[in-house]
Structure 1
Amino acid sequence: MNPSLPRPTLALPPSFSTREFRDALGMFATGVTIVTARTAAGDLVGLTASSFNSVSLAPPLVLWSLSHGASTLPTFADGSHYAIHVLAADQKALAERFATRGIDRWAGLEHRPGISGAPLLAGAAATFECFNRSQYKEGDHTIFVGEVERCEHREGISPLLYHGGKFYTEHPL
């Protein structure tokens, strides 16, 4: 950018469709997570999310985002804690289960309470138990920043990956 020109105050309008944007985003391979919490009444909630990322090592911070149209948004927005599970390669069915609407995602599912009550799923490659530190409303999503109070991981476990609308597992190059 030419330093003599004034800095724009607004972005240019998109030159692409929503579908084109989704397809371009699909070219970024991500890990697959399930984020879980409890409602104020103690009911279990959870959803599949690929919008997970690290933010800071000190303090330990991670982020993820949730659509404003999600029925679980009030639980995550108002709650103090949640857990993020990085899924293992053998947990594809679990990822699909927690992405499906209108079913009991918890029926017959093994889990235990975390240190602050958020449910922890068995078999994850890694888990992050988070304090709901901050939230940012941007576009059609809310970005959640969690301060990690406890984390664990399993050595030698391949993560579940998502790319171009399909699930994968890692293969060293």
Structure 2
Amino acid sequence: MTASDNQEILRSAMLQAMRRLAKSVSVITCRHNGQRYAMAASAVDSLSAEPPSLLICINRSSSIYQPLSRGVDFCVNILAAEQHEIALVCSGKRKGEERFSTGSWSANGADGTPYLTNAQASVICRQDGSFEYGTHTVFIGRIEEIQVGETVSPLVYVDGAYSTSAPLPQVAAHA
């Protein structure tokens, strides 16, 4: 077996393992030179509470990569289960402004970063660093503002499909 064969086996096994990692679905948005960008993503995570920050992982072939690589601020819109259509629109064939045709969108501050007004949460970030790894760039966002919705009903992506999470039954503690 060659090193190349081994890498392909590892790549395939990794993809299968990641299908089992349920992740909340977000739509990452930004604005650059008057144009809005949006992309559905599950590669989002908290980074630090001090300073409040998160990270997003973006494939360098995606359309949102270019404005982010220029240092623009961004928003992570954490979707609710009933917003799966927004996730589909922002991950499919629609491009550019067409991705904003579904959902209730507004703009934040002077730079006009788009955010989803009825998301579970919209986390508006100032870009605070990045680094490249493989096919992706990891962008760090220092949180500037957060809008949190009333309900918790996450849209989840697992095994190649959208789903939602349900609370487990409460188990009584044993004395």
TM range (shorter): 0.7 to 0.9
1:154 deviates by: 1.5
1:137 correspondence with 2:149: no
Picking from 149, 153, 156, the partner of 1:154 is 149
Picking from 74, 91, 105, the partner of 1:82 is 74
1:96 correspondence with 2:88: yes
1:71 deviates by: 2.3
The residue identity in structure 2 corresponding to 1:130 is C
1:32 correspondence with 2:30: no
The residue identity in structure 2 corresponding to 1:120 is Y
| Superposition CA RMSD, Å | 1.6
The residue identity in structure 1 corresponding to 2:28 is V
8 Å CA contact 2:30–2:72 kept in 1: the answer is no
SS at match of 2:143: strand
Identify unmatched segments of 5+ residues in structure 2: 1-5, 169-175
1:20 deviates by: 2.7
Q: Distance in 1 between matches of 2:43 and 2:19?
A: 12
Q: Which deviates more from structure 2 when the two are superposed, residues 119-128 or residues 29-38? A: 119-128
Q: Distance in 2 between matches of 1:94 and 1:14?
A: 35
Q: Distance in 1 between matches of 2:159 and 2:103?
A: 28
Question: Residue 69 of structure 1 aligns with which residue?
Answer: 61
Q: Which deviates more from structure 2 when the two are superposed, residues 120-129 or residues 54-63? A: 120-129
The residue identity in structure 1 corresponding to 2:63 is S
Q: Which protein has the bigger helix share?
A: 2
Q: Distance in 2 between matches of 1:166 and 1:113?
A: 30
Picking from 31, 35, 46, the partner of 1:43 is 35
How many residue pairs match? The answer is: 160
1:97 deviates by: 0.4
Q: Distance in 2 between matches of 1:66 and 1:108?
A: 22
Q: Which deviates more from structure 2 when the two are superposed, residues 81-90 or residues 106-115? A: 106-115
TM-score by length of 1: 0.86
1:101 deviates by: 2.7
Question: Residue 106 of structure 1 aligns with which residue?
Answer: 100
**Identity of counterpart residues, as a percentage?**
26
Q: Which deviates more from structure 2 when the two are superposed, residues 123-132 or residues 97-106? A: 97-106
Picking from 159, 162, 174, the partner of 1:164 is 159
Q: Distance in 1 between matches of 2:157 and 2:102?
A: 25
8 Å CA contact 2:79–2:119 kept in 1: the answer is yes
The residue identity in structure 2 corresponding to 1:140 is T
